[in-house]
Structure formats: structure tokens, C-alpha cells
Amino acid sequence: MTSQANQGDLEIDPSPLLAVLNELHSQYKLLREGAVAKYIPELAKVNPELFSICIVTVDGQIYKVGDYEQLFTIQSISKVFAYGLALEDHGLDYVLTRVGVEPTGDAFKAIILDEQSKRPYNPMVNAGAMSDDKPLRVYATTSLIKGFGPTERLNRMLDMFRRYIGRDVFVDISVFTSERSTGHRNRAMAHLMLNFGMIDRNIEEALDLYFQQCAVMVDCQDLAVMAATLANRGINPITKEQAVNKHYIKDILSVMYTCGMYNFAGEWAYKIGIPAKSGICGGIIAVVPNKMGIGVFSPLLDVRGNSVRGVKVCEELSQRLCLHLFDCSGQEAKFD
């Protein structure tokens, strides 16, 4: 196991926060419940033992333990950031006409649209992450991303990830093609939206951009930096670049808070109490506004598709550091 604060090594670093991360890592690496995602064949090859935790504070300090340099595909965590770009491209009012913000308590892959409006319920489930923008003839929360043709849209999306992460990012071509060739359920959702007139043209192009978005490679520190950028009014705390317009942060965090953890979102909000998003890669990001971003990676998933160790680590961090947004019990937040 490797553990590190951004300066110095564990032996000389007195950081209590790093000590907490080390303790949680040692404790939960023994937890071997859950299974790796298998429905995208390439994802099934991941080493189930991998485990890393990283915290990045809004003033740019980095605390990390475990396999934090291991790259993996971002999967559904990308939906948060695609939603932010769609908001920047079109504004809140328009995006709301295309994708709702109602928590459904459904699994990410639920094939379900709002009966009345025919909108996907929210942008954190797959249908919501793929809805259409007819007037501009471009596709998704993913299709809402502007650009002339698939290359420009992909490049705008990659550039958005670059701003959040602070380095150039790439799509894992094997995971992308693996999902594209087996993503029949996502294809079925796209056809359902076509049936309701929510998508009116090239479904395969919309799906390709969505599959590429899911196959962007990140490591655990990247997750924490992205989360810290959301915690820091949209400014990457390491590079100081504005990654997303600060006016949309509250919209992004609200939808993460209510919809970010699939059919565990309610319990998560109740117990852990911080905006978060998970993906079937085994990653979780959690955002403590004005304080820090948390990233956890462990590919063993529970039946809802959330990382088993990731949920446990976030639960403990929330308790130990008093991070629950509505904790008014008089206890001072232990992290300052």
C-alpha cells in the first residue's frame, strides 16, 4: 500500500487526516463483499483487490492511500460533469425541459420516462444522461453537449474533463468498443426516447458519445480533484482553472445529493449527507462544499452498483469528520 500527503511521506507527516485514511484503508481492504461489474465484458477484467482513497481540500492539499495511481474508466460518475456542460451550453430552464430532477429511487439502468412529460426523470440515470435536444440537433444530457459533429462534441467533452482534472484525458478504446458492442439496454432506452420524440435522429452517434464519456480514464486522485473542484465553486484547486461556471454548482450538487447513488440515494442522503455520485467502475466522488472533494475506488460492487468499500469509507468519513450537511448537533466539524 502507498500512502502520501502532497509533501513528505507517512513517517514524517503528522497529518491526522492521512492517519484516518490509512486506518480506513487497512480496515476495509479486508472487506471482500460484492462483485465486479460484468455486463461490460472489458470491465470484468479489473483486479477486484484494487482500493484507494483520496481527499483533496479546496486549498489544494492532497491526501491519498492505496492504489491511487491505478487508472480506470469513469463510467456513470461522468454524468455529473456532462450535466454541468449541458447547463453551461443551454442554461437551466432549457435543460429542465429535456431532463427532470426528480429522484426515482430506480436503478441506473431503469428503462423509465416521466409519463406526462416523456422526459427522463433525472440526469443521473442512463436515460437522463442520454436525452435529446431537438432544436439544436445535437444529442443527450450527453446529447445536449454542443458541437459540430461527433469529433467536436467529443473534444469539447474531453476538454471539460481536462479542466476538472488538470491534465489531458483519454478514452479507453477497449472499454468503449466493449460497451458499444454489448450496450443493447442503452440502445433500447434510446429507441424508447425516439418513440416519444425525445430523440429525433442518429441514435448511434448519441450512444457513441455517451459510451466514450463513460470510458474516459481517471485515477482516484483525479476523482478527488474533480470533486474538490465542485466543492471550490468550480475552480480546480490545483491548477486554479475555472472548470465550470460557478452559477451551476448548486444545480449540479442538488441533483447529485438527491439522485447520485441510484436506488441507494435516499439512504445515502440520510446517513452520509453529502452530494455524491458513483459508477460501476467502483468509483465514488463526494463533495463537501467549501471544504473538500473525496474520491474512493474499489471495484467490488453491491447489488445496486455502488462500491461496497466506497460506501463504507464515505460513511465513516462523514461520521468521523462530521461532514453530514445537516448535522446541527452542536459538534464542530472535525475538519477545518
- Residues lying near ligand GLN in the complex (CB under 6 A) are found at 75-76, 108-109, 126, 179, 186, 214, 279-280, 305
Are the beta carbons of 145 and 212 closer than 8 angstroms?
no
What angle (nearest 5°) sits at the alpha carbon of residue 151, between those of residues 147 and 154?
A: 75
| Minimal distance, residue 63 CB to ligand GLN, in Å | 26
| Minimal distance, residue 124 CB to ligand GLN, in Å | 9
| Minimal distance, residue 279 CB to ligand GLN, in Å | 4
| Minimal distance, residue 39 CB to ligand GLN, in Å | 7
Nearest CA to 134 out of 213, 183, 214, 193 is that of 193
Whose Cβ is closer to ligand GLN: residue 126's or residue 141's? 126
| Minimal distance, residue 185 CB to ligand GLN, in Å | 7
Whose Cβ is closer to ligand GLN: residue 40's or residue 253's? 40
| Minimal distance, residue 40 CB to ligand GLN, in Å | 6
Are the beta carbons of 273 and 317 closer than 8 angstroms?
no
Query: What DSSP state is assigned to residue 77?
Result: G
How many angstroms separate the CA atoms of 223 and 55, rounded? Answer: 9
Element (H, E) at 19: helix 16-28
Are the beta carbons of 309 and 28 closer than 8 angstroms?
yes
Whose Cβ is closer to ligand GLN: residue 63's or residue 72's? 72
Please count the CA atoms within 13 angstroms of the CA of 64 that sit on its side-chain side. Answer: 27
| Minimal distance, residue 110 CB to ligand GLN, in Å | 11
Are the beta carbons of 197 and 133 closer than 8 angstroms?
no
Whose Cβ is closer to ligand GLN: residue 65's or residue 80's? 80
How many other CB atoms are found less than 10 A from the CB of residue 137? 12
Whose Cβ is closer to ligand GLN: residue 20's or residue 77's? 77
Q: Rounded to the nearest 10 degrees, how much is the dihedral formed by the CA atoms of 261, 112, 127, 307?
A: 20
Are the beta carbons of 237 and 56 closer than 8 angstroms?
yes
Whose Cβ is closer to ligand GLN: residue 166's or residue 305's? 305
For CA atoms 149, 121, 211, 168, the dihedral sign is: positive
Whose Cβ is closer to ligand GLN: residue 3's or residue 306's? 306
| Minimal distance, residue 306 CB to ligand GLN, in Å | 9
| Minimal distance, residue 76 CB to ligand GLN, in Å | 3
Whose Cβ is closer to ligand GLN: residue 95's or residue 124's? 124
Whose Cβ is closer to ligand GLN: residue 72's or residue 108's? 108
Cβ-proximal residue to ligand GLN, closest one: 76
Please count the CA atoms within 13 angstroms of the CA of 162 that sit on its side-chain side. Answer: 11
280: phi > 0 → left, psi -120 to 50 → alpha, else beta; which? alpha
